[in-house]
């Protein structure tokens, strides 16, 4: 089974404007511990380039767009994050690269864990070894 999943959030609101609601254990499949957002990323930059041993994530590009390459050890896929009501859920141990950021991109990241630099795997070969063991 894949360790990632595209999420489509319900757009609420009316012709005056739109609204998306994110709730722990409802449309976000974990208890939320941390939120951060990435912006001002240069278009030629690749971010990510790691997997996390313990954290689950939901990523939503709420303004502008970017691409994410996900690799769970079995499947590798490139997904456009280009709508404020589209997200991707990443379970533990998914390799991710984010790139092709538009100038205005604001990438919202919701996580199940507090930040811990020790849980990062930054060596792809090591990731492949661990994920397939």
Residues forming contacts to ligand TYD in the complex (CB under 6 A) are 34, 36, 47, 115
- Cβ nearer to ligand TYD, comparing 36 with 77: 36
User: CA torsion 26→84→59→3, rounded to 10°?
Assistant: 70
Residue pair 101/41 in contact (Cβ under 8 Å)? The answer is yes
CA end-to-end span of the chain, whole Å?
16
Among 52, 46, 93, residue whose Cα is nearest residue 68: 46
Shortest distance in whole angstroms from residue 85 CB to ligand TYD:
23
Q: What is the DSSP letter of 70?
A: E
Closest separation between CB of residue 115 and ligand TYD, Å? 3
Provide the minimum distance between the beta carbon of 32 and ligand TYD in the complex, in angstroms, as a whole number.
13
Token pair of 104, please? Answer: 């205005």
Catalytic residue among 33, 47, 50, 128: 50
Q: Is 50 a catalytic residue?
A: yes
User: Which residues are the active-site residues?
Assistant: 50
């Amino acid at each position: 089974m894949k360790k990632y999943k595209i999420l489509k959030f319900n757009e609420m609101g009316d012709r005056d404007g739109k609204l998306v609601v994110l709730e722990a254990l409802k449309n976000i499949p974990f208890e939320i511990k941390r939120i951060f957002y990435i912006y001002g990323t240069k278009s030629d930059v690749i971010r990510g380039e790691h997997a996390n041993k313990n954290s689950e994530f939901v990523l939503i590009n709420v303004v502008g767009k970017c691409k994410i390459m996900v690799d769970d050890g079995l499947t590798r896929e490139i997904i456009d994050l280009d709508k404020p009501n589209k997200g991707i859920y990443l379970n533990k141990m998914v390799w991710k690269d984010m790139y092709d950021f538009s100038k205005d991109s604001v990438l919202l990241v919701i996580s199940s864990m507090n930040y811990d630099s020790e849980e990062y795997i930054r060596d792809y070969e090591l990731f492949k070894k661990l994920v397939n063991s």
